[in-house]
Chains A and B, each alone.
Chain A
Amino acid sequence: MAEARDNVLDVETLSIALRQDDATVPIVEDISFSLARGEVLALVGESGSGKSLTALSLMQLLSKELAITKGRILLHAADGGVTDIVGLGANGRAIEAIRGRRMGMIFQEPMSSFSPIHTIGAQIAEVAMIHEKVTREEARRRAAELLAKVGIPDPVRALDRYPQEFSGGMRQRAMIARALICGPGLLIADEPTTALDVTIQSQILDLMRKLKNELGMAILFITHDLGIVAQMADRVAIMYSGRIVESGPVRDIFRRPVHPYTRALLEAVPRLGDIDRHRKIRPIAGSIPNIFDVPQGCRFHPRCPAAQLPRCAEAPPPRYDAGRHHVSCIHGAEELGR
């Protein structure tokens, strides 16, 4: 990326494919994005858009059937060193040293993300012991410190408790502590609040924001909830069927969405005052295409209200940029220029 920002992560033309017995089926195609230090990027899409797989691929955690087929994932160290995650491969010391130390990850299911037969403390301290070769006592001390930081009461006693003694929200806090114990520059959060109650959800979001400001790490936030995006993110990338269709600063995207899919997404979100203004919530017609049978050209054209046939069905739409706002749509030029 040409911009001279202080980037933590650059993803360049990343493609992921599903290897089947006979052929490879592309699932994520040519996506690029970058994350600056201390920045929150939200990756938004419906289920099946490939956003979770993108997140997993950043740490080389894809299951065996899936593989990165193209692109680079560049991780920048604070001292200026650059590592290409794709080049490290999915196994071995090199990638293990990145996981949990340079990048932390939290998952949607706080219930099942901890092993039920080990204590919370052991599972958090273990990460520090692996990466920094500290003693058990030191690791436990740091784990307790972090548990306090993520807002768990009586952290020293909490160390010796089992995950099933914690509520969902507490477990997600503990999960965050585990992801952050080595002070990674990047936190990947894969729908971290989807499984939680709304009140707990906002507590966790507040916590993540607070920790970000304190620790200065970047966050890649995967979600399908535009409400959360508005609260959390600095920038947004909208994914549809394995491609990024529009990206840019949150303000720009929410104020002036260009891609018809982004617009449709925003119109599908209920807002306070909708009833007074007689605004209707419009769900998006149709469903996300199956990867074995994706439409030619623009993937969204069968559902798109502004599609121009046959143009949209023939070739992938061109990409237009206006500052940091990018969009891939034939209407991009006129809309961005407005």
Chain B
Amino acid sequence: MSLIDTYRAYRARPKAIRRTDLASQWQLMWWRFRKHRMAMLGMILLGLFGVCVLFPEPISPYAPFERNSKYVAGAPMMPHFFEADGTFHPRPFVYGVKSERDPVTLKLRHTRDETKIWEIAFFVKGDPYHLFGLIPLDIHLFGTREGFIHLFGTDFTGLDIFSRTIHACRVSLSVGLVGVLVSFVLGAAIGGAAGYFGGQFDNIVMRIIEFIRSIPTLPLWLALAAALPRDWGPLPTYLAVTAILALLGWTWLARTVRSKLLATRHEDFVLAAKLSGCSDSRIIRRHLLPSFMSYLIVDTSIAFPEILLAETSLSFLGLGLREPVESWGVLLYAAQSIRSVDQAPWLMIPGLFVIVAVLAFNFLGDGLRDAADPYSK
């Protein structure tokens, strides 16, 4: 197209040699990625989640199963710097709590007691734990020396929702990670074989993929999860749920691998490499793989939230993971009925973490996709 060519010629600034002329493909991707602000935000958020996955015990003020009988179904407590009369505290604090029994329903009601001030302390001693299951420690990132602090409130049994949500990062994100890894291996192997062998085999694989994609996955997931025996322990259930999620998640990746393999196999640059005497292995390593590796990474970052959402939904319904395993979905199970949500809306807070995690992955995926496209500006 003459117009568009002309226009492109105008846009391209020739300089002697730009550093982009010499950079490797990965360097270029990184540079483009860095310019994508949302993707960087996604990466930072995922980094924070990573910290939670590694160090949930020191970050949370309480152990996940430590009940606070003085504050059952208590509302989130907000940290403050200023008292109501404007007195400034250099250390943030939370107001104390007074509890009284409702004369009619005889239920315990908690209200804020503005006469009591509980200062937040950092690196305080608290519940003992074993970091990575090995190192015995009792230091927590924050806590209070007197009273207690429940940033996200407590549930109907007095468990601290903040601590439980932080602890649940580990299972929720690892289900996604393991699920994606399994689907990645399955997808790459099946899609690769289909693209490589072609012909009838390819045809059959594509039909199967089409079949799986044309059936509604969530009901099928639910049914498979429901078929798991109830008396299985936490670990087998965890593995089985992950496997079920992965089982139906590989189709996207397989499709991508196959179509990219088929498309690149006949690209001019592959022919050119062949003609200039490259060995098959070199062509695969240096030409084919890099040309669709980036697509695989992008697809993986898109598959991850899908699995995370599926796990959350299953566990929310009580068909996936169950106590004592903790995932965001398991925590949300407590919010299943409108009555409990009405009484303690803060039970929905773990859902916020799900949304943020999925958003972070979507941002990351978008950034990667843009960065991986060698023709993007």
Contact = CB atoms under 8 A, between A and B. Distances in A.
The answer to A–B direct touch (Cβ < 8 A) is: yes
A48 B3 contact: no
B58 to A, nearest CB: 47
A194 B2 contact: yes
A109 B6 contact: no
A108 B1 contact: yes
A290 B13 contact: yes
B6 A48 contact: yes
A47 B14 contact: no
Contacts of A18: 10
A269 B13 CA distance: 30
A57 B9 CA distance: 18
A293 B14 contact: yes
B211 interface: no
B14 to A, nearest CB: 6
A50 B2 CA distance: 11
Contacts of B1: 108-109, 112
B132 interface: no
A53 interface: yes
Contacts of A291: 10
Given A109-B1, A194-B2, A48 B9 contact: yes
A293 B3 CA distance: 20
Q: Which of B6, B9, B12, B13 has the most CB of A within 10 A?
A: B6
B7 interface: yes
B5 interface: yes
B225 to A, nearest CB: 44
B14 A190 contact: no
A48 B10 CA distance: 7
Contact of A63 (B7, B13, B14): B7
B3 A56 contact: yes
A331 B13 CA distance: 32
Interface string B1-32: 11101110110111000000000000000000
Q: Which of A52, A107, A108 has the most CB of B within 10 A?
A: A52
Contact of A47 (B9, B12, B13): B9
Interface residues of B, number: 11
B123 to A, nearest CB: 48
A47 B10 contact: no
B6 A53 contact: yes
A194 B13 CA distance: 27
Contacts of B6: 47-48, 50, 52-53
A48 B6 CA distance: 5
Contacts of A190: 2-3
A108 B2 contact: yes
B339 to A, nearest CB: 54
A104 B97 CA distance: 80
B2 A292 contact: no
Nearest to B10: A291
Nearest to A222: B2
B13 A292 contact: yes
A192 to B, nearest CB: 11
A27 interface: yes
Contacts of B14: 290, 293
A242 to B, nearest CB: 10
A111 B324 CA distance: 64
Contacts of B2: 47, 52, 108, 190-191, 194
Nearest to B11: A18
A177 B1 CA distance: 21
Contacts of B9: 47-48, 290
B62 to A, nearest CB: 52
A248 B5 CA distance: 28
Nearest to A194: B2
Interface string A43-54: 000011010110
A52 B3 contact: yes
Q: Which of B1, B3, B13, B14 has the most CB of A within 10 A?
A: B3
A293 B12 CA distance: 11
Contacts of B13: 290, 292-293
Contacts of A109: 1
Nearest to B15: A293
A191 B4 CA distance: 13
Nearest to B8: A48
A107 B2 CA distance: 9
Q: Which of B1, B12, B13 has the most CB of A within 10 A?
A: B1
B126 to A, nearest CB: 54
A50 B3 CA distance: 9
A114 to B, nearest CB: 15
A147 B2 CA distance: 26
Chain A to chain B: the 6 pairs with minimum beta-carbon distance, closest first: A48-B9, A108-B2, A52-B3, A292-B13, A291-B10, A52-B6
Given A112-B1, A291-B10, 10 more contacts: A47-B5, A47-B6, A47-B9, A52-B2, A53-B3, A190-B2, A290-B9, A290-B13, A292-B13, A293-B14
23 contacts: A18-B10, A25-B10, A47-B2, A47-B6, A47-B9, A48-B9, A48-B10, A50-B6, A52-B3, A52-B6, A53-B3, A53-B6, A63-B7, A108-B1, A108-B2, A109-B1, A190-B3, A191-B2, A194-B2, A290-B10, A290-B12, A290-B13, A292-B13
